[in-house]
Amino acid sequence: MPMNKSLSKSVMVAALLAFSFLLACAPGAAPQAAKQELRANLAAEPETIDPNKAAFSTQVTVIKQVFQGLLSFNQDLTLKAVVAKEVPSVKNKGISEDGLVYTFKLRDDVKWSDGQKVTAKDFEYSIKRLLDPALAAQYASFYHDIKGAKEYNTALGTPKEPKKPDEATLKSLRGGVAVKATDDTTLQITLARPRNTFLQLMALWATYPVRQDIVERFGAKWTEPPNYIGNGPFKLTEWVHQDHITLEANPNYWGTKPKLQKIVLRMFTDLNAEYAAYLNNELDMTRVPPGNEKQIIADAQFKTQLLRNNEMVTLAFQFNIAKPPFDNALVRRAIATAIDRETFIDKVRSGVGRVAYAWIPSGMPGHQPDLGKQYKFDVAKAKKLLSDAGYPEGKGLPLTSFQYADTSGNRVIAQFLQGQMKDNLGITVNLEPMETKAFQQLVGQKKFQWSFFFWGADYPDPDNWLPEVFGTDGGNNLTQYSNPKLDDVLKKAAAELDEKKRLTLWAEAEKIVIDDSPVVPVAYRERFFLIKPTVKGLKTTSMDATLPGDWFYAEVSRG
């Protein structure tokens, strides 16, 4: 059968060809980055890159490259003026004596990427747009201390008490927001009550300027290139949804021109895929799949590529203190003392992160290094506390359930806790893994019993850390912790304008919280990245968004 012979021959030839092709292209043909190009993984498609709407770190990483606000942060997280001429203070008359009126003087040489001038009007429009209830911006509530802001932003009420204002009411509410461009280079903002962290809020992405003409012309499509006009060092030139974003140096940039010509932000959703892409030289930086950290630290080649930096993020266990047995502070203290945080860092976090006893992380003003040390791991002490609580050797303690979103990371944490409780206190903890959204709803409705959570900084101040989580009315007070003494101190601290006095008040407040132990801080998070040694001049902060050093990419170069 002639045809059959030729068929088998061709199969063989094809196989041989394929094999020889493999041999010919031996290792070494790895992809290379173009000159002055940075390639990183954003890890997911940013849901939006509208500065007013943004709320998540992937979004902020992009926005920071394309926009610049009145103020920004230095590497040590002190404030610096960017579009503003100087950081307003009482001394330079930028802030009124009573701390209510802020006057920002703008530079007059700031340009949009299409060449138009940036004026105070762009900021006025942006802030009013941010507060527009129809935009439903998630960070709007940060700015409720601006006079008229809360009234406008909450005009539709809450799900429990909805309101139906008419168009005219909304318009007049918008007019009532005390943000005003008095001329092209002066922006005046009046607060309803003093807020000593207001300048830090003005350094966040939500108040970056936005162009009214662009937004009105393109609607929701204004965030697509080439409509996405910003005033920052880079501009958006390409957005292949769910695949990558390309940023290129903005030729019209008014400040020091960036050295990088191009930033490519990929969207590998899988951590192992990101790591493989780095090993194949498709990325210049990568996270490391959990569990590989120790091996990488020991590896001679990887050691030079390691990038570690502390983040202002606290990892903690939280109790629902409205229900027994966690309504008993002695039980909570016993548990806080029975958790071996060193082992947690070493075994659960593979040596990444720092042991935490206090709530406010190191790196933030007001961090108290010795606070909470009474909960240092001590089995005997923990047992005594539990017995004082009325449960000697854990006897008679109601069964407790630990709820968590079922991810591989959380599973290890849950098992660690279960083991610690069994070994150190003789308590049996029932583990309840849940689907992520279901878990979030359960916690939000305060129906959980015991869970793990983390809190990260939006801006470097305890004011972002205490009232929201521990104040009786705090929007993220999920433990249902309530202490009138604490509420009193929190109120005083928030209103105090004197820097020293207010830090003392925050310290006092944090001490009350730690004594009452509605949460058990266990670790401060640390970033663990690999980065190609050819990336020069990366400056990380403890408050970077998705990617390390993303406040300062304009200063990075490839060598």
Partner 1 sequence: MSQYILRRLLWLIPVLLTLSFITFALMHLVPGGPWDREKQLPPAVVENLNRKYGLDRPVWLQYLSFVANTLRGDLGISYVHQDRSVTDIILNALPITATLGLLALILTVALGLSLGTAAAFHQNSWLDYICVFYATSFASIPGFVLGILMVIIFSVTLHLLPTGGWGTPEKLIMPVIALASIPAAVLARVTRASTLEVLHQDYIRTAHAKGLSQHIILYRHTLKNALIPVLTLLGPEVAYLVSGSFIIENLFSIPGMGRLFVQGVFARDYGLIMGTVLFYAFVVAVANLVIDVLYGVVDPRIRYD
Query: Which residues within the stretch 279-318 sit at the binding site for partner 1 (CB under 8 A)?
Result: 279-282
Minimum CB separation of residue 355 from partner 1 in Å reads: 23
Report the residue from 6, 78, 114, 157 that binds partner 1 according to the rule CB under 8 A.
157
What whole-number distance in Å separates Cα of residue 173 and Cα of residue 171? 5
What whole-number distance in Å separates Cα of residue 557 and Cα of residue 559? 6
Question: Which distant-in-sequence residues (6+ apart) come within 8 Å of 481 by Cβ?
Answer: 321, 470, 513, 516, 518
Minimum CB separation of residue 334 from partner 1 in Å reads: 27
Q: Decide whether 195 or 502 has the Cβ nearer to partner 1.
A: 195
Q: Decide whether 163 or 485 has the Cβ nearer to partner 1.
A: 163
- Site residues (CB under 8 A) for partner 1, limited to 25-64: 25-31, 45, 47-48, 50, 53
What whole-number distance in Å separates Cα of residue 222 and Cα of residue 216? 8
What whole-number distance in Å separates Cα of residue 155 and Cα of residue 173? 8
Minimum CB separation of residue 48 from partner 1 in Å reads: 5
CA dihedral 367, 470, 394, 415 (to 10 degrees): -70
Report the residue from 1, 18, 168, 298 that binds partner 1 according to the rule CB under 8 A.
1
* H-only helix segments in 445-536: 467-470, 484-495, 499-516
Q: Decide whether 159 or 533 has the Cβ nearer to partner 1.
A: 159
- By rule CB under 8 A, what string of x and - marks binding of each residue 242-281 to partner 1? xxx---------------------xxxxx-xx--xx-xxx
- Exposure of 504 by Cβ count < 10 A (0-12 exposed, 13-18 middle, 19+ buried)? middle
Minimum CB separation of residue 456 from partner 1 in Å reads: 9
Q: How many other C-beta atoms are found inside a 10 Å radius of the C-beta of residue 527?
A: 19
| Contact stretch for partner 1 (CB under 8 A) within 64-72, 382-390, 448-456, 541-549 | 448-456
What whole-number distance in Å separates Cα of residue 353 and Cα of residue 315? 10
- Tokens 């043909």 sit at which residue? 29
Alpha carbon distance, N-terminus to C-terminus of the chain: 64
How many binding residues for partner 1 (CB under 8 A)? Answer: 72
What whole-number distance in Å separates Cα of residue 71 and Cα of residue 76? 14
Minimum CB separation of residue 501 from partner 1 in Å reads: 28
Q: Decide whether 282 or 340 has the Cβ nearer to partner 1.
A: 282
- By rule CB under 8 A, what string of x and - marks binding of each residue 406-445 to partner 1? -----------------------------xxxxxxxxxx-
- Site residues (CB under 8 A) for partner 1, limited to 84-143: 133-138, 140-141
- Site residues (CB under 8 A) for partner 1, limited to 496-525: none
Report the residue from 153, 337, 410, 540 that binds partner 1 according to the rule CB under 8 A.
153
Q: Decide whether 288 or 385 has the Cβ nearer to partner 1.
A: 288
Minimum CB separation of residue 474 from partner 1 in Å reads: 9
Q: Decide whether 454 or 534 has the Cβ nearer to partner 1.
A: 454
Q: Comparing C-alpha atoms, which of 298, 308, 412, 288 is closest to residue 354?
A: 308
What whole-number distance in Å separates Cα of residue 520 and Cα of residue 337? 9
Q: Decide whether 84 or 277 has the Cβ nearer to partner 1.
A: 277
Q: Decide whether 14 or 90 has the Cβ nearer to partner 1.
A: 14
- Tokens 């498609």 sit at which residue? 45
What whole-number distance in Å separates Cα of residue 330 and Cα of residue 392? 12
- By rule CB under 8 A, what string of x and - marks binding of each residue 221-240 to partner 1? x-x----------------x
| Contact stretch for partner 1 (CB under 8 A) within 150-158, 182-190, 331-339, 524-532 | 150-158
What whole-number distance in Å separates Cα of residue 50 and Cα of residue 60? 9
Minimum CB separation of residue 246 from partner 1 in Å reads: 11
Minimum CB separation of residue 268 from partner 1 in Å reads: 4
* H-only helix segments in 178-307: 198-201, 212-218, 271-279, 293-298, 300-303
Q: Decide whether 234 or 275 has the Cβ nearer to partner 1.
A: 275
Minimum CB separation of residue 225 from partner 1 in Å reads: 13
Backbone angles phi, psi at 551, to 5 degrees: -75, -25
Tokens of 348: 């659960």
Minimum CB separation of residue 221 from partner 1 in Å reads: 7
Question: Which distant-in-sequence residues (6+ apart) come within 8 Å of 436 by Cβ?
Answer: 405, 406, 407
What whole-number distance in Å separates Cα of residue 77 and Cα of residue 361? 14
118 in Cβ contact with 209 (< 8 Å): yes
Report the residue from 260, 360, 371, 478 that binds partner 1 according to the rule CB under 8 A.
478
Q: Decide whether 165 or 419 has the Cβ nearer to partner 1.
A: 165
Q: Decide whether 143 or 551 has the Cβ nearer to partner 1.
A: 143
510 in Cβ contact with 358 (< 8 Å): yes
| Contact stretch for partner 1 (CB under 8 A) within 6-14, 66-74, 408-416, 423-431 | 6-14
Q: Decide whether 207 or 328 has the Cβ nearer to partner 1.
A: 207
Q: Does the protein bind partner 1 through residue 398 (CB under 8 A)? A: no
